[in-house]
Amino acid sequence: MREVQTESSEPSPTNIGTVASMAAAESQPSIIIFAVGDIMLGRNVEGWMIKEGLDYPFRKVNEFFKSADLAIGNLEGPIRKKHTRTPTGSTTFNFKSEVAAELKNAGVGALSLSNNHTFDYGPQAFEETKSYLRQAGIDFFGHPHDIHDDYVLRKEIGGQKFAFIGLQDVFASMDSKKAVALIKRVAAEPNTTTIVSIHWGDEYKPIANQRQKTLAREFIDAGADVVIGHHPHVVQNVELYKGRPIFYSLGNFIFDQYFSKETQEGLAIGLEFKGASLRIRLYPVDIIKSQPVLMEDFRAREWLKALSSRSEKALSEPIREGIIVTSL
């Protein structure tokens, strides 16, 4: 496959520094972070869990998660002690307390709480959610409204520093200047890879809107290394800007939107960091009765071909091959 890079992968014979840095990168271990889109564990998903067992939504992906150094996603609602099952037709979500342990058992290591459902039961449920996740040993980041350093997750993985910033811009509600300023401050921290996870865009639209595109570029100009979006409930186009990947929407991962083919498909990505190199593997997912499973090879190839057709032209071949390579 073709490697998409910001500069030539072939160093000049006289560029000893470049050769040395490439050699150093080869000696470094890879760090793999898996990312998925929206995880909603109430309403009809809860019905399947009652019928089939609490681990039902994760049963076919837990080994996939556990093979990574860290797996992250967007938790689309609060975890509550006074839980009541969300009725069909309602979009006021809440999840039973036991799901925190199931997320941990499935291999989920960190969750964004920056979305338009985290406050469905107010700030108290938000605090409960954090408490349950903390007890289960799951990290979290982001806030549905506030943009502040307190909500940044900093982790060291395999000797490398990562910062995860969660943002929420549904209905263009975010203070973009404040968000950019936060990213700039965090990205300036020494030897830190900055990953922005943002809830944004138009529901059910397969192409990102102009605000998404503008914000993504502003984030990268401020120092973000990877931008990962969610909320539209379908997978949106992919692009590179200044060598940094933008996944405008990974779509659903665990949900109960059975009304269309597109809402029952998602994209999981494996971010493999090695020195200054980033290799991204694309994993199309079918969501069958709210249970995600990796697509069969033939369907995955056809699905990636369709994704490539609506993404940046320079990424057409890498997306079809399921691997994007760039330099950070």
The dihedral built from the CA positions of residue 90, 72, 82 and 124, taken in this order, carries a sign that is negative
pLDDT confidence of 23, banded at 50, 70, 90?
very low
Q: Of all residues in the chain, what percent carry a pLDDT higher than 70?
A: 92
66-70 mean pLDDT: 96
- Helix (H/G/I), strand (E/B), else coil: 8: coil
- pLDDT tens digits, 149-159: 999 999 999 99
In a domain, 244, yes or no: yes
Q: What does DSSP assign to residue 171?
A: G
Residue 166 sits in a domain whose CATH number is: 3.60.21.10
220-249 mean pLDDT: 98
List, in order, residues 6 or more apart from 250 with CB less than 8 Å away: 35, 36, 37, 228, 229, 230, 235, 266, 267, 268, 269
211-232 mean pLDDT: 98
In a domain, 197, yes or no: yes
Domain count for the chain, please give it. 1
- pLDDT tens digits, 92-131: 999 999 999 999 999 999 999 999 999 999 999 999 999 9
Q: What is the pLDDT of residue 278?
A: 98
- What pTM, to 2 d.p., does this model score? 0.91
290-303 mean pLDDT: 97
User: Alpha-carbon distance 319 to 206, whole Å?
Assistant: 16
Are 198 and 247 spatial neighbours (Cβ–Cβ below 8 Å)? no
Q: What is the pLDDT of residue 168?
A: 98
pLDDT confidence of 25, banded at 50, 70, 90?
very low
pLDDT confidence of 277, banded at 50, 70, 90?
very high
In a domain, 5, yes or no: no
**In this model, does residue 26 exceed pLDDT 60?**
no
pLDDT confidence of 73, banded at 50, 70, 90?
very high
- The angle at the Cα of 73, spanning 44 to 286, to the nearest 5 degrees, equals 55
In a domain, 182, yes or no: yes
In a domain, 13, yes or no: no
Q: What is the pLDDT of residue 28?
A: 72
In a domain, 106, yes or no: yes
**In this model, does residue 22 exceed pLDDT 80?**
no
- pLDDT tens digits, 1-21: 223 333 333 333 223 333 333
In a domain, 83, yes or no: yes
- pLDDT tens digits, 178-208: 999 999 999 999 999 999 999 999 999 999 9
In a domain, 299, yes or no: no
Average pLDDT, the chain: 92
* Higher pLDDT among residues 3 and 313, named by residue: 313
Q: What is the pLDDT of residue 29?
A: 85
Q: What is the DSSP string of 181-207?
A: HHHHHHHTSTTEEEEEEEE-S-TT-SS
Query: What residues make up the domain containing 86?
Result: 30-287+317-327
